[in-house]
Chain A
Amino acid sequence: GGTEPAPEGEGEGEGEAGYEIAMITDIGSIDDKSFNQGTWEGIVAYAEENDITHKYYKPTEQSTDAYLAAIQLAVDGGAKIIVTPGFLFEEPIFIAQEQYPEVNFILIDGNPHNADYSVFRTDPNTVGILYAEEQSGYLAGYAAVKDGYTKLGFMGGMAVPAVVRFGYGFAQGAEAAAEELGITSIDLKYHYTGNFDATPENQTLAASWYAEGIEVIFAAGGLVGNSVMSAAEAAEKAVIGVDIDQSIESDTVITSAMKGLAASVQSALDAYYSGSFPGGESLIYGADKDGVQLPMATSKFKTFSQADYDKVFTALADGSIVLKNDTDAESATDLGLSIVKITLVD
Chain B
Amino acid sequence: MDILFLVVQQTMFFSIPLLIVALGGVFTERGGVTNIALDGMMIMGAFTSILFINKMHGSMSGQSLLLIAILIAVVTGMVFSLLHAYASINMKADQIISGTALNMFAPAFAIYVARMIQANGVQQITFVNTFRIPKVPLLGDIPLIGGFFFRNAYITTYIGLAILVVSVIVLYRTRFGLRLRACGEHPHAADSVGINVYKMRYAGVVISGGLAGLGGLVFVVPTSTQFNATVSGYGFLALAVMIFGQWKPMRVLFAAFFFGLMKTVASAYSVIPVLNTLGISSDVFKMVPFIATLIVLAFSSKTSQAPRAVAIPYDKGSR
Direct contact of A and B (CB under 8 A): yes
Q: Check: A184 CB closer than 8 A to any chain B CB.
A: no
What residues of A have a CB within 8 angstroms of the CB of B226 in the complex?
Answer: 198, 223, 226, 249
What residues of A have a CB within 8 angstroms of the CB of B13 in the complex?
Answer: 200, 203-204
Q: Is the CB of A207 within 8 A of B10?
A: yes
Closest to A56 in B: B121
Min CB gap B240→A, angstroms: 16
Min CB gap A186→B, angstroms: 18
**Cα–Cα, bound, A233→B127 (Å):** 13
Choose among B10, B116, B224 the residue that contacts A7 (Cβ–Cβ < 8 A). Answer: B116
Q: Is the CB of B152 within 8 A of A201?
A: no
Given A197-B232, A234-B152, also A211-B224 (CB < 8 A): no
Mark B117-155 against chain A: 1 for CB-CB distance below 8 A, else 0.
001111110100100100000000000000000001000
Q: Is the CB of A345 within 8 A of B122?
A: no
Binds A, one of B39-47, B58-66, B90-98, B266-274: B266-274
Q: Check: A5 CB closer than 8 A to any chain B CB.
A: yes
Q: Check: B219 CB closer than 8 A to any chain A CB.
A: yes
Min CB gap B29→A, angstroms: 25
Taking CB atoms and an 8 Å cut-off, the chain B residues in 1-33 that contact chain A are: 2-3, 5-6, 9-10, 13-14
Mark B276-298 against chain A: 1 for CB-CB distance below 8 A, else 0.
10010111001000000000000
What residues of B have a CB within 8 angstroms of the CB of A5 in the complex?
Answer: 119-120
**Cα–Cα, bound, A202→B139 (Å):** 29
Closest to A191 in B: B270
What residues of B have a CB within 8 angstroms of the CB of A205 in the complex?
Answer: 267-268, 270
Q: Is the CB of A249 within 8 A of B126?
A: yes
What residues of B have a CB within 8 angstroms of the CB of A204 in the complex?
Answer: 10, 13-14, 223, 263-264, 267-268
Taking CB atoms and an 8 Å cut-off, the chain B residues in 214-271 that contact chain A are: 219, 222-226, 228, 230, 232, 263-264, 266-268, 270-271
Q: Check: A318 CB closer than 8 A to any chain B CB.
A: no
Given A199-B223, A200-B13, also A211-B264 (CB < 8 A): no
Q: Check: B308 CB closer than 8 A to any chain A CB.
A: no
Q: Is the CB of A201 within 8 A of B225?
A: no
Q: Is the CB of B132 within 8 A of A233?
A: yes
**Cα–Cα, bound, A199→B122 (Å):** 19
What residues of B have a CB within 8 angstroms of the CB of A233 in the complex?
Answer: 129, 132, 225
User: Size of chain A's interface in residues, with CB distance under 8 A?
Assistant: 36
Q: Is the CB of A199 within 8 A of B232?
A: yes
Min CB gap A156→B, angstroms: 13
Q: Is the CB of B6 within 8 A of A250?
A: no
Mark A212-237 against chain B: 1 for CB-CB distance below 8 A, else 0.
10000000000100110110011000
Q: Check: B115 CB closer than 8 A to any chain A CB.
A: yes
Q: Check: A303 CB closer than 8 A to any chain B CB.
A: no
Closest to A345 in B: B270
**Cα–Cα, bound, A177→B267 (Å):** 31
Min CB gap A79→B, angstroms: 19
Choose among A198, A201, A203, A211 the residue that contacts B271 (Cβ–Cβ < 8 A). Answer: A211
Closest to A235 in B: B152
Choose among A30, A191, A211, A250 the residue that contacts B121 (Cβ–Cβ < 8 A). Answer: A30
Q: Enumerate chain A interface residues (CB-CB to B < 8 A).
A: 5-8, 29-31, 44, 189, 191, 194, 197-205, 207-209, 211-212, 223, 226-227, 229-230, 233-234, 249-250, 345-346
4 further interface pairs, Cβ-Cβ under 8 Å (given A205-B270, A230-B223, A233-B132): A7-B116, A191-B270, A197-B228, A208-B6
Supply 5 A–B pairs (Cβ within 8 Å), ascending by A: A191-B282, A200-B219, A201-B267, A209-B270, A229-B225
Q: Enumerate chain B interface residues (CB-CB to A < 8 A).
A: 2-3, 5-6, 9-10, 13-14, 115-116, 119-124, 126, 129, 132, 152, 219, 222-226, 228, 230, 232, 263-264, 266-268, 270-272, 276, 279, 281-283, 286
Complex A-B, nearest 3 residue pairs according to Cβ-Cβ distance, in ascending order: A7-B121, A208-B268, A204-B267
